Structure 1
Amino acid sequence: MLENKSWQSEIQAALWKEFEILRVMKALQLRTIAYRCGISKNQGVEPFSILVALVFLTFLGKSVHHFVSHCRNSLFDLGGKDVFYRLSTRTSINWRRFMMDISLNVIRYFKSFSSWQQRVLVIDDTVIQKAGKKIEEVSWVFDHSKGKSVKGFSAVVLGWSDRASFVPVDFALQRSSRKVFKQSTEIEMDKRMLAWHRRQEAVKDKPTLVKEMLKRAKQKGLDAGAVLFDSWYCMPRLVSSIYNEIGYDVIAMLKTTPTLTVAVNGKVYSTKRLWECVVPDLIKATVTIGKDRVSVSSINAFFGSTLVKLVFCQPSEKSKSKKPIILLSTDTSLTSAKIIETYGQRWAVEVLFKDAKSKLFFGKNQSRTFEATICFLTLSLVRFIILSYMERINGDFRHKGSLYEGLRYEVEELNILAFMEKFINRLLSIIDGAKETFTVFMNKLAGIQEMVRLSIQNLMFQRCET
């Protein structure tokens, strides 16, 4: 019988060296992080193998069902769908720590390429639409892009950027507390479980989720020149909490409404009246942003109890698509051009949402449990982190779609090689079995030949006597 264990280990070691995506996963210490986060073996298949297969899922199939049927007799053939769903629904896995530890490993590498002022934290949210009413914690949420309410969740995402790369760090799911669909059965859960805390987190309002995520980032030692967000989060209490309590500067867009007010030179104005009452008296300068020329003016004001710098940006040429905006910065020493340039980094989170939804299955899973939703969202963002890391180490700053296509072909090639390896192993075992069968057959044939020879001799001896 041939010994194939050493030969198989040599092939596996060669695969880890040959394929870039496997080298990246090893460099980011995914196995160690997974073990620290509670992804350990209870029974059956090794959980890390299942985790790697789930990370590769987007490169090989469209769903877990398609993935399982597509990968029969290959490297990712780990059993049926239940193997994957059992891992995704485990309540003891700390998916938040899993994602944050991977992000921090990548950010530590990226820090050597940028200064402290270039690093920012970006906050935004997106709607994850669902079709079923029986999905746990699903509710009606308002989608601003569609202008109507849809069934699903609102995902609040915190990311880190240094202008060249964007790395998602943390996220939280939020649902409406009033418009939730009633579940047929109530799930009883230990309040000490991580899954219970994630469920309680879903009913909190978005400003609270933002503060909690920023506090966790601060505790992890994540430094940044500013926190960026759009006008939906730009409220006096949240800006004051981030600046005074957590310790991050804020650069955000100010919402122009009759109810939101700022104090300029001791007088209180609504943000909507600032263009009429304050801006005409300010000194204006022209700044070129990309291909557009923008008229810029600034003034210090109090936003609630926080001293901020307001930057008024108005396109030099009138356009329906380009409207005047007001930017706010808690760092009053920054120039208007610097504030505008820094706020431009917020666009990276919009790119994340577009790429993650179109390429990386963000929010697309076929499980009803809340834990599985958290699991698959985390893995989608981990795929984006891996792509960002590969993009940076290769010095390749193309759109991630091109990198995604290259990875898809690489994983397909890896899958084919693994299938060939299994085929060769099967062939060798057949040859080994054939050798044993042939040996038994030859022994039996030799016995038959000996019996025939003895029979002939006996017959000849009897004939001679007669």
Structure 2
Amino acid sequence: YQNTETENTQNQFSNAVKQLQCGKLLRKANITKNCGIPAFEVFQFLLLLVFQGKNLFRFLNSKHKDQAVSKNTYYRFLNETSYNWKKFLLFLAVKVTSVFDTLTRPERVKVLVLDDSVIKRNRSKKVELLARVYGHVEHKFQKGFTLLTLGWSDGYSFIPVSFNMLSSAKKSNRYQEIASDVDRRSNGYKARKESMMAKTDAAVLMVGQALSAGIQADHVLMDTWFTTEPMMRSILAAGLDVIGMVKQLKQLYTYKGRAYTLPELQKFVHFDGVNDIFGSLCVTTKKGIPVKIVFVRNRNKRSECLYLLSTD
């Protein structure tokens, strides 16, 4: 039974890879090999391991190792600096979202979703571009990287679009720099340079690249870290609206000719113990961007209010 199930998984997987034209997309992203096992076959094998929940190292040391080629082939493939994996993921996202567009109503709202998380490497010392990064979940600095991700959603499906494993824009926060043996003309070197961008600049670049590639979206959803006035201006300039959570800081918003903080604006909204959405106000930011502030109940602490901002 297990062998039959494995064969069915492999067949379904192969059909999906062919329908998505992954071989063609790999070539467009410069993921090719001049000799030996074709890059597409190596890629397909590694991806299938993920869908089967298997580990490459353990597989190569198991009784099934005869089904694979040498481990050096796989590790060289994964470490090749000329391959542009970000471009491959973007091409694949365009392919998938365009198929989804044919299956859904034109009026369905589509969004790009920005998020970031910390990849901890607290025990590391010599990892390339290792940095001191701030984790806003634990509210402290740690050794590691910030994984910045961009996704696409229509409210029902979620598709990864792009990523950037950020080091730090500040040299003083980096424990290691770019390895000296990396070819400056390679895609790997360009990715390393992008990893040293400021988080908001990297986010704007990713959104721009997604739109240029053909990703269709109406809004960008973001967390408090990204919902700043300069960031909003950049997203609006790209032709998209912003929906994001706002921190309760000292920033002022103009309402009916007067400037107020977020807690002061709460006084103009009726609060009750039943509804989770208390209301909204149309205000302008310090630099004159018209926005709507929506006041919602904090699900984790019902006595508190959260603030959502929308430029739409």
Q: Same fold (TM over 0.5)?
A: yes
Asked whether 1:326 is paired with 2:307, we answer yes
- Percent identical residues: 29
Query: Gapped runs of 5+ residues in structure 2?
Result: 1-6
Instruction: Name the structure, 1 or 2, with higher relative contact order (CA <8 Å, separation 6+).
Output: 1
Deviations 1:1-33 (A, max 9, x none): xxxxxxxxxxxxxx7997211111111111111
RMSD in angstroms over aligned alpha carbons?
Answer: 2.5
Amino acid at match of 1:95: W
Could you tell me which amino acid in structure 2 is paired with residue 96 of structure 1? Answer: K
| Aligned counterpart in structure 2 of residue 293 of structure 1, from 275, 279, 298 | 275
Structure 1 stretch 98-107 or stretch 15-24: which is displaced more?
A: 15-24
Q: Which residue of 2 aligns with 1:388?
A: none
2:310 partner amino acid: S
| Residue-by-residue CA offset, 1:437-464 (whole Å, 9 max, x unaligned) | xxxxxxxxxxxxxxxxxxxxxxxxxxxx
Q: Note closer, same or farther for the CA distance 1:322–1:45 as it changes in structure 2 (3 Å cut).
A: farther
Aligned to 1:265: 256
| 1:255 to 1:49, Cα distance in 2 relative to 1, 3 A | same
User: 3-state DSSP class of the match of 2:244?
Assistant: strand
TM superposition shift of 1:149: 2.4
In the alignment, is the contact (CA less than 8 A) between 1:57 and 1:64 conserved in 2?
Answer: yes
Change (3 A) 1:127 1:321: farther
Q: Indicate conservation of the 8 Å contact 1:279/1:297, yes or no.
A: no
**Structure 1 match to 2:139:** 147
**SS at 1:73's partner residue?**
helix
Q: Does the 8 Å contact 1:16/1:23 carry over to 2?
A: no
User: Counterpart amino acid of 2:41?
Assistant: S
Given the alignment, which residue of 74, 79, 82 partners 2:72? 82
Higher gyration radius (CA):
1
2:174 maps to 1:180: yes
Write the distance in 1 (CA, Å) between the matches of 2:44 and 2:72: 16
Q: Where does residue 306 of structure 1 map in the other structure?
A: 289
> Alpha-carbon deviation of 1:217?
1.5
User: Which residue of 240, 252, 266 corresponds with 1:279?
Assistant: 266
- The offset of 1:66, in angstroms, is 1.3
1:195 to 188, 198, 209: 188
For residues 319 and 165 of structure 1, the distance between their equivalents in structure 2, rounded to whole angstroms, comes to: 26
Q: How does 1:133-282 map to 2 (within 5 A)?
A: 133-176=125-168, 177=170, 178-182=172-176, 186-243=179-236, 245-258=237-250, 260-270=251-261, 274-275=262-263, 277-282=264-269
Deviation at 1:238, TM superposition (A): 0.6
Query: Displacement, 1:213?
Result: 0.8
| CA deviation map 1:278-317 (0-9, x unaligned) | 33234x4879xxxx732422221112331111112246xx
> How far did residue 200 of structure 1 move?
0.8
Residues 295 and 227 of structure 1: CA distance in aligned 2, closer, same or farther (over 3 Å): closer
Paired residues, what number?
Answer: 300
What are the residue-to-residue correspondences of 1:57-76 with 2, within 5 Å?
57-59=49-51, 63-70=55-62, 71-74=64-67
The one of 96, 99, 117 aligned to 1:126? 117
- 1:159 maps to a residue whose letter is G
Cα offset for 1:145?
A: 2.5
Q: Give the AA of the match of 2:113.
A: V
How far is the alpha carbon of 1:190 from its aligned partner? 4.0
**Superposed displacement of residue 60, structure 1:** 5.0
The one-letter code sitting in structure 1 at the alignment partner of 2:69 is: L
Instruction: State whether residues 117 and 225 of structure 1, in contact with CA within 8 Å, keep that contact through their aligned partners in structure 2.
Output: no
Q: In 2, distance between residues paired with 1:319 and 1:144?
A: 17
1:221 deviation in Å?
2.5
Provide the rounded CA distance (Å) in 2 between the counterparts of 1:319 and 1:59. Answer: 34
Aligned to 2:32, which of 40, 60, 66?
40
Instruction: Determine the C-alpha separation between the residues in 2 that align with 1:143 and 1:320.
Output: 22
Q: How far is the alpha carbon of 1:50 from its aligned partner?
A: 1.2
User: Which residue in the other structure is 1:26 paired with?
Assistant: 18
Paired residue secondary structure (1:325): strand
2:87 maps to amino acid: R
**What is the TM-score normalised by the length of structure 2?**
0.87
Distance 2:8 2:38 in 1: 18
Residue aligning to 1:441: none
What displacement does 1:325 show? 0.9
CA distance in 1, matches of 2:15, 2:8: 6
Q: CA deviation at 1:155?
A: 0.9
More deviation, 159-168/32-41: 32-41
TM-score for the superposition, normalised by structure 1: 0.60
- Counterpart amino acid of residue 127 in structure 1: V
SS class of match (1:326): strand
- Note if contact 2:127-2:176 (Cα within 8 Å) is conserved in structure 1: no
- Aligned partners of 2:275 and 2:268: how far apart in 1? 20
3-state DSSP class of the match of 1:56?
helix
2:83 pairs with 1:93: yes
